[in-house]
Amino acid sequence: MKEDIYIRLLKEAKSDLDNNVTMTRDEFRRKLEDKNIRVPEYDTYCSIYRNTSTNSIPCFMNIEAYFKLLEYEELQEARKSSRQAKVIAIFSILLTAIAILVQIFLN
């Protein structure tokens, strides 16, 4: 499944934050263009970063954007766990049904 542009931007911002990388808005825009990520509108950029009043000030990922990414990652993990639980449940039901049928035929 292709990720939403906003999620890709959040992941890029988190990666920069984890690596203690700061960049100006223009540097971030060039980085995204190099990775073939469509450059966001200014409002989208401002919702992810703080200190964006000028192009020359280094910017950091803001807390709200960081928690949005964490929520997204937790949701993806919950979906994955849910799929795994569903497969295990179906397997258990089938195994139980087979055991019941075997028991009926043996008696």
Nearest to 24 by CA among 65, 57, 62, 51: 57
Q: Which of 26, 6, 10, 7 lies closest to 18, judged by CA?
A: 10
Q: What is the pLDDT of residues 13-28, one digit of tens each?
A: 888 778 877 777 777 7
Residue 46 has pLDDT above 60, yes or no: yes
| Dist CA 8 CA 83 (whole Å) | 24
pLDDT in tens, 71-107: 999 999 999 999 999 999 999 999 999 999 999 998 8
Smallest CA-to-CA distance from 48 within 64, 35, 25 is with 64
User: Alpha carbon of 29 to those of 26, 35, 84: distances in Å?
Assistant: 5, 10, 38
